[in-house]
Amino acid sequence: MPIPLTIATIPLRVLLIEASEDDASLVVRSLTRGGYSVVFERVESPEALTAALDGGAWDLAIADYMMPRFSGTAALELLRTRDPDMPFIFVSGTIGEDAVVAAMKTGAHDYITKGQMTRLVPAIDRELQDARVRRERKRAERRLAHLAYHDALTDLPNRTLLHDRLQQAVLGAYRTGKPLTLLVMDLDRFKEINDTLGHHAGDRVLQLVASRLRGTLRDVDTVARLGGDEFALILPSTDLDGAVATAAKVLLELERPLVVDGRTLGVRASIGIARFPQHGASAETLLRKADIAMYLAKGDSGGYAVYAADRDRQTHRRVTLATDLATAIDHDEFFLEYQPILHLRTGLVVGVEALVRWNHPLQGRLLPAEFIQLAEQTGLIHRLTPLVLDKALDEWPDADPSMPLTISVNVSSRNLQDPELPDRIQACLKARGALAPSLALEITENIIMSDPARSMETLTQLHNMGVRLAIDDFGTGYSSLGYLRRLPVDELKIDRSFVVGLGAGNDEVIVRSTIGLAHNLGLSVVAEGVESHAVQGQLLAYGCDAAQGMFISEPAAASVTREWIARRNAFGPAA
């Protein structure tokens, strides 16, 4: 071992491929003098080189060009099979120019003759620096490649990688005949989390969901984020029973409270399941079918659903409608019709109910049954309801004192969970100088049951503003009159299914007792769906306050309804 001549500072592990011990010492001495603290091993055969490479990590190789039992170019070739990047420098006696060129072509980094040893240290400095740059560039490239295939927020595989893996899984399942299932999952009400708690909280939720998914599934399963709040799970070697059990497990796991920014949230999701080969034999088809099944699951109010061909057509339409719905708001494709509400004893029109319609560019006029639920699921209801409110208040300006009317607008459960709703309504009224009592909001009873505390808060605020509140479709939900007593509501609308029944001699008892109890609670009662003179007469006899329905008037454009009301009120109580 040579003794260092100066105090060396930079550690350097050198592999010396050199037959002569003296020449090796010469190299080491130069390096040490150049400021390196050298650790080296000298080898002179392929076997020894292999052993040295196996034995440790090296910063650099220096090789003689010609040795009795080895050649520099053979050494270089061998080394490149192990480490394509390690700096490699020939240090040799003079050889022909051709040999130098050949050596450089095989991938050596430099060639130094033994008579030019002063060049050695600068050459090594440069090569080590270059090697560092190469390593960093490779790391950056790997990072970029990772980002191209992974989602930056959750670090899960992205849609591209999922697609690749799914293709591989399909091929594997073909080959082995083993089952394969694909799950597509979408979080319910994620938009609400984003809207009410902010994007930061939304991001946190996605990260937590991602780690729960990873934690719940097996290592062979792929968990990917498709974008937004959509995830996909590939379950290889898993049949339908296994997939259903996994879906249930995932849903349960997500329901465990999540703590985000100090708040505790419960997350629910809908999962669609598609299986290979029953539902599709390609990655694309499986993804599409799982997506459709996911929509089915949402329609079934959460949980999971397995793809079913017979429900596909209908779902396809829903999926298309869901995408159209977003642009419909921007393109102002909605309009309102109004159905008059008649005070039974006086025969005067006391209000109109605004009913939204969608003028779809391809499908024509659509009724709320076709899109309200979708609007709720996609969160678009938060934009739709204010739009309906604006239109309704614009079309029935409060200015005409000869026609004091209440404008009723239907409000969805999602709207009640929006803490800004009361302020927004206040602003709406104020902008038009309208009075709060001229507005009634209709709320179906199940809404209130889904989040009683939150709904109660919003309802109380609205009530204190003076807005009238009505329970819509009463009788179809689970709430008792006793429960409703605790709500700050003014009015109860008996669902049309009971009212229609009156005409057929049914539901008499229900309708009568509902009217009686409601009056006891200080609520006024409106009957919906009056389709005949006889039913209207019965309702009057039972003491029902008001009614609406086809027999009285169908919903129509504001101008038509306004004329109808003018004519009707001119007749007065006689009608």
Stretch that binds ligand C2E, among 49-57, 324-332, 410-418, 445-453 (CB under 6 A): 410-418
Using CB under 6 A as the binding rule, the residues of this chain from 459 to 518 that contact ligand C2E are 472-473, 496
305 contact choice in ligand C2E, Mg ion, none (CB below 5 to 8 Å, kind-dependent): none
Structure tokens at 84: 């394509």
Using CB under 5 A as the binding rule, the residues of this chain from 457 to 476 that contact Mg ion are 472-473
Using CB under 6 A as the binding rule, the residues of this chain from 18 to 47 that contact ligand C2E are none
- Are the CB atoms for 61 and 31 separated by under 8 Å? no
Give the shortest CB-226-to-ligand C2E separation in angstroms: 29
DSSP letter for each residue of 205-245: HHHHHHHHHHHHS-TTSEEEEEETTEEEEEEET--HHHHHH
> Looking at beta carbons, which pairs linking 355-361 to residues 24 or more positions away fall under 8 Å?
355/410, 355/555, 356/384, 356/388, 356/410, 358/328, 358/333, 358/334, 359/333, 359/334, 359/335, 360/321, 360/324, 360/328, 360/333, 361/324, 361/333
Size of site (CB under 5 A) for Mg ion:
5
Give the shortest CB-408-to-Mg ion separation in angstroms: 7
Give the shortest CB-307-to-ligand C2E separation in angstroms: 29
Q: Which residues contact 424 (CB under 8 A, 6 or more apart)?
A: 386
Tell me the Cα Rg of the chain: 39
Structure tokens at 190: 């994620």
Q: Is 549 an interacting residue with respect to ligand C2E (CB under 6 A)?
A: yes
Give the shortest CB-279-to-ligand C2E separation in angstroms: 34
Residue 155, beta-bridge partner list = none
Site string for Mg ion, 77-106 (x = CB under 5 A): ------------------------------
Q: Choose between 283 and 356: whose C-beta lies nearer to ligand C2E.
A: 356
User: CA of 93: how far to CAs of 63, 69, 103, 111, 224, in Å?
Assistant: 11, 17, 14, 10, 59
> Looking at beta carbons, which pairs linking 150-153 to residues 24 or more positions away fall under 8 Å?
151/224, 151/225, 153/203, 153/206, 153/207, 153/225
Max CA pair span of the chain: 127
Q: Is 514 an interacting residue with respect to Mg ion (CB under 5 A)?
A: no
92, 158, 406, 410: which one contacts Mg ion (CB under 5 A)? 410
412 contact choice in ligand C2E, Mg ion, none (CB below 5 to 8 Å, kind-dependent): ligand C2E
Give the shortest CB-323-to-ligand C2E separation in angstroms: 20
Nearest-angstrom CA–CA distance, 518 and 226: 50
Q: Choose between 238 and 524: whose C-beta lies nearer to ligand C2E.
A: 524
Q: Choose between 18 and 528: whose C-beta lies nearer to Mg ion.
A: 528
Q: Is 491 an interacting residue with respect to Mg ion (CB under 5 A)?
A: no
Using CB under 6 A as the binding rule, the residues of this chain from 327 to 366 that contact ligand C2E are 339, 355-356
Closest CA to 31 of 96, 125, 113, 134: 125
Q: Is 418 an interacting residue with respect to ligand C2E (CB under 6 A)?
A: no
Nearest-angstrom CA–CA distance, 372 and 391: 17
Size of site (CB under 6 A) for ligand C2E:
22
Nearest-angstrom CA–CA distance, 304 and 289: 13
Using CB under 6 A as the binding rule, the residues of this chain from 49 to 78 that contact ligand C2E are none
Q: Choose between 291 and 324: whose C-beta lies nearer to ligand C2E.
A: 324
Stretch that binds ligand C2E, among 157-165, 246-254, 261-269, 525-533 (CB under 6 A): 525-533
Give the shortest CB-428-to-ligand C2E separation in angstroms: 14
* Binding region for ligand C2E (CB under 6 A): 339, 355-356, 367-369, 372, 388, 410-412, 442, 472-473, 496, 528-531, 549-550, 555
